[in-house]
Structure formats: C-alpha cells, structure tokens
C-alpha cells in the first residue's frame, strides 16, 4: 500500500491525482494513500523565490519524508527538483510531458504582449521569464509575484499587475487553459529545464514502488528532460538563474536550444545543438560550455 507525498496546492494535488489514476489503470487493486507535506515554499509565502537560498524549497521536506520511509513515492514538478538529489533517492519515472511553453494572462482588454501599454506591470517570480519578456518588450515593468495559481489570478483581477506569466502545463492540468491569452513560441521564450514534466521519485532499492510507476515513464520526455538537467548542471545555475533550455525529438534527432541572459534582457546569449537521443546529455553539456565561453560565464558571475 504505497503512500504518495505531495504538496497541498491545487496544482500539486491535480498532478498527484493524475499519477494515482495512471497507477490504478495498471494496478486496479492497489490501495494508495496520499500525504500532504508542507514544504519551505508553503511555509514562507513572502520571501522571493529568486533568493539565493531558494534551491529545493518546493521539494526538500518531501524528500526527507521519502528518506524516512514516511512516504513511498513523491510527485514533483520536474522544474522544482534540484539537479543533484540525495544518493538514496532516484527518479523512477518521467511521464509524458505537458505543454512546456510559458503563457501570458493579461487583465482588461489586452490579449497580446504587444497590446500592453508602455510601463505595464508584468508579474512573475522567475528571473528567466523576466529576462526574456524584457528582451521582447524592454519598456515593460517586471515585478515579483508569489502564491499559487488562484492567488495570482486574484492579484491580476485586483489590477496589482497588468499581466502575469505562468506555465501552460499547470494551467492545462487545472483546466484553466481558456484563461491563456498568449502561448509564447519557443523562439520568443524558452522554458525552465524540465518545465511541463513530472518527476516520480522513489527510494533507491524500493523495487515494488519502482515497478508500479515504471509504466508511466515516457522515453522521449525522459531523454529531453535529462538533457535539459545536464545543461543546467553544467551551466551551474538553479531555478533562480536567468537560464533556459528546451530539448525535443524530431524524427531520430534530438534538438536542444539553450540560453543565458542578463536579468534586464539587454543581453541574451542563445545557441542550439542537434544530436542523437543517445548522446543528448553530452550534447547538452557541450552546448552549455559554448554558452559559458561566449559570455554566459561572465553573466552568471555578475549575479553571484
């Protein structure tokens, strides 16, 4: 009877329900319980996620419960999972990815980024999104925002912001896709590493739980996401860095696009690589090396 650990947000619960339903399709007699775990990000809703100490704030307590055998399976948003995890834990499955793009939701009658007036206020907690939206519209003002999807929509309705940027994947999973005004093209805004994907984490050696989730793994998604994480690891950044990457399979080729930018969007260093799926991690690391060598390292040093 496995116990699944998850955060208590509406999105986290929706993601966990999806995983449970998929497990029950394969193991209809399984008895699965759910345990809500408050993470550091849930306890502190005021400190900016951009803070340097923010690494792992969405997953640390869940991983601790997994290590203590209080839960048997953890469901994370992959983009929240640090590139280095405890040796006693392993990502046992990466399900098929949702839409990895970023979405613009605007207040009032504006429906496109170009419709927003000069000086319009954009809400995002991501320095990656900040850099890329300012590269598109340097006349806009970006302000930090915290809270779950519902809270952000409320702040938008109260006109604290003129628009907010959220992940398409989360809105789709919550059935809120009709609220999206713009789905940014990847040429306009690259996502965070692992955005749109889930990470199903188990204890190393727990063969029973690993077997229950093995069928949920999607090989093309896993190849892409692991390459993105290899890119991020080599770049030396985290979730609060102006780093973006997206990998995808086209026929038998893996295409990886990555960038690093200054927070003000004035400098964007971007490049891409093509490789076989079998060499995706190595190609991602080589891409990161190139970006670092042509100015990326200087950008990241300036932010420390």
Active site residue ranges: 80
Q: How far apart are CA 292 and CA 232, in angstroms?
A: 11
**In this structure, what token pair is assigned to residue 244?**
């973006």
DSSP designation for 239: T
Measured from the Cβ of residue 303, the count of other Cβ atoms closer than 10 Å reads 13
Please, what sign has the CA dihedral across residues 26, 27, 28, 33? negative
What is d(CA 26, CA 191) in angstroms, rounded to the nearest whole number? Answer: 32
Instruction: Annotate 225-259 with b (16+ C-beta within 10 A) or e (fewer).
Output: bbbbbbbbbbbbbbbbbbbbbbbbeeeeebbbbbb
DSSP H/E element including 208? helix 207-213
The β-bridge relationship of strands 3-6 and 33-36 is parallel
User: Which residues, in sequence order, are bridge partners of residue 243?
Assistant: 260
């Amino acid at each position: 009877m496995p116990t699944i650990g998850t955060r208590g947000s509406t999105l986290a619960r929706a993601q966990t329900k999806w995983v449970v339903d998929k497990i029950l399709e394969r193991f209809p007699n399984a008895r699965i319980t759910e345990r809500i775990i408050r993470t550091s990000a849930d306890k502190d809703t005021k400190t900016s996620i951009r803070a340097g100490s923010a690494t792992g704030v969405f997953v640390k307590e869940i991983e601790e419960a997994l290590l203590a055998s209080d839960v048997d399976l953890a469901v994370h948003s992959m983009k929240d999972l640090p590139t280095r995890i405890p040796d006693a834990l392993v990502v046992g499955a990466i399900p098929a990815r949702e839409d990895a793009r970023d979405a613009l939701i605007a207040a009032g009658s504006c429906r496109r980024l170009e419709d927003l007036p000069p000086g319009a206020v954009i809400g995002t907690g991501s320095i990656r999104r900040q850099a890329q939206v300012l590269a598109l519209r340097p006349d806009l003002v970006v302000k930090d925002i915290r809270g779950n999807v519902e809270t952000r929509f409320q702040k938008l309705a109260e006109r604290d912001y003129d628009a907010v940027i959220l992940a398409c994947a989360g809105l789709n999973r919550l059935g809120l896709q009709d609220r999206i005004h713009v789905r940014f093209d990847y040429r306009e805004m690259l996502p965070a590493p692992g955005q749109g994907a889930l990470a199903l984490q188990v204890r190393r050696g727990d063969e029973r739980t690993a077997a229950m989730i093995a069928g949920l793994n999607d090989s093309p998604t896993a190849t892409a996401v692991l390459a993105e994480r290899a890119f991020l690891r080599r770049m030396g950044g985290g979730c609060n860095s102006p780093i973006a990457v997206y990998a995808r399979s086209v026929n038998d080729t893996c295409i990886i696009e990555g960038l690093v930018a200054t927070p003000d969007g004035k400098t964007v260093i971007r490049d891409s690589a093509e490789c076989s799926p079998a060499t995706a991690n190595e190609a991602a690391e080589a891409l990161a090396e190139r970006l670092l060598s042509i100015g990326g390292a200087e950008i990241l040093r300036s932010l420390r």
